[in-house]
Amino acid sequence: MGLQCGIVGLTNVGKTTLFNCFSNTKAETSDYAFSASKSNVGTAFVPDPRMHELRKRQPSEKLIHTTVEILDIPGLAKGANQGEGVGNKFLADLRNTDAIIHVLRCFDSANLPHIEGSIDPVRDIEILDFELQVKDLESVEKKIQRYEKLVKAGDKEAKKGIEVLQTIKAHLDNLQNIRTMGLTDDEYKFVADLSLLTVKPIMYVCNVDDASAKNGNKYSDAVVKALEGSGALVLVIAALMESEISELESEEERMEFLSDAGLSEPGVNRMLRAAYALLNLQTFFTIGPKEIRAWTMKKGYTAPNAAGVIHSDLERGFIRAEVMKYNDFITIGSELACKNQGKLHIEGKTYIVEDGDILNIRFNV
């Protein structure tokens, strides 16, 4: 669907190591600050255990998972908004993403000094927030200037826009992120064209040492406490360990090493599912003997919208959707049984597709 999450953080926090855990494109890692010259782009499969449960009831030749696109943005530093490190170019890359994964260094290493001289992930959140707030402030101030000219020409809508922009400016001046303002659609339309950085949804990944993979450590605990009440998701992942495990050849070996670390699945799996949700995405399924496929849709899609995800002809010629709920199908065990028990529903053009729905689209073109 063309939606993208950006992985950000200060330099040498383990962003690229995390990226390499799941990406189909392996990127080079380095112990040197600002060694990367460009952002890395990769596509990752979104792990969904429901696919395997569906296959148990509907034998199928293959499973096709949904994907999410991840942009690994090289490390930033204090002063990035003024071009420090490799700042301006990569802040521009971040502007083009739809959501943010902020990776925080929560491990000690004598061989990898922190650019700020000590390990303090809460301070690192404040540094990155400030850099993004400054860039947003620049954008908002420029638009205020444009609207002031329109107001002089008698544009009433521009006058309302200035009021909204001044409120946003005051929020940024107070070192607050725009996403905490709760802007209405009517207010947001005045800044929709700016691709503001601090309005993007965000989640935090605490990159910990191997021993802290299961329960975290004092650094990740400090992050959780600092973000308490914000509604932000915080995940704990030992990126170096997981990147090494991901290189193992067999699934059996990978699961054995994860089990030794006290994990039932890779932490990056949880991160990818969370990133998918952060982008406001949901999944519906189509099932059959040739393939079971997960399809990506935005929350709130109608049945014809979902049909269009499969093929534009299905949306254009949409007649109806035959819908089974995932839990009904898993419990009852087959499409025929669902039909016999009244659990296969016929839905029209106004039906809002829910996460996990199993669809069969009837159409005519």
Query: CATH number, domain at 172?
Result: 1.10.150.300
* Structural domain contains residue 286: no
79 has pLDDT over 80: no
C-beta of residue 48 within 8 angstroms of C-beta of residue 66: yes
* Structural domain contains residue 123: no
Q: Is the entire prediction scored with pTM above 0.75?
A: yes
Neighbours of 141 (CB within 10 A): 12
Range of the domain at 157: 128-194
Q: Which of 194, 222, 249 is the last residue of a domain?
A: 194
**92 and 132 both lie in a single domain:** no
**323 and 306 both lie in a single domain:** yes
Average pLDDT over every residue of 307-336: 97
C-beta of residue 106 within 8 angstroms of C-beta of residue 99: no
Nearest CA to 272 among 8, 23, 11? 23
Residue 105 backbone phi and psi in degrees, to 5: -80, 120
Tens of pLDDT, residues 173-228: 999 999 999 999 999 999 999 999 999 999 999 999 999 999 999 999 999 999 99
C-beta of residue 262 within 8 angstroms of C-beta of residue 214: yes
CATH of the domain at 359: 3.10.20.30
pLDDT value at residue 190: 95
* Structural domain contains residue 290: no
Mean of pLDDT over the chain: 90
**150 and 241 both lie in a single domain:** no
Tens of pLDDT, residues 131-176: 999 999 999 999 999 999 998 888 889 999 999 999 999 999 999 9
Instruction: Please report which confidence band the pLDDT of residue 33 belongs to, taking 50, 70 and 90 as the band edges.
Output: very low
**21 and 100 both lie in a single domain:** yes
* Structural domain contains residue 288: no
Q: Give the amino acid at 188.
A: Y
Token pair, residue 290, equals 């040739």
103 has pLDDT over 50: yes
**274 and 330 both lie in a single domain:** no
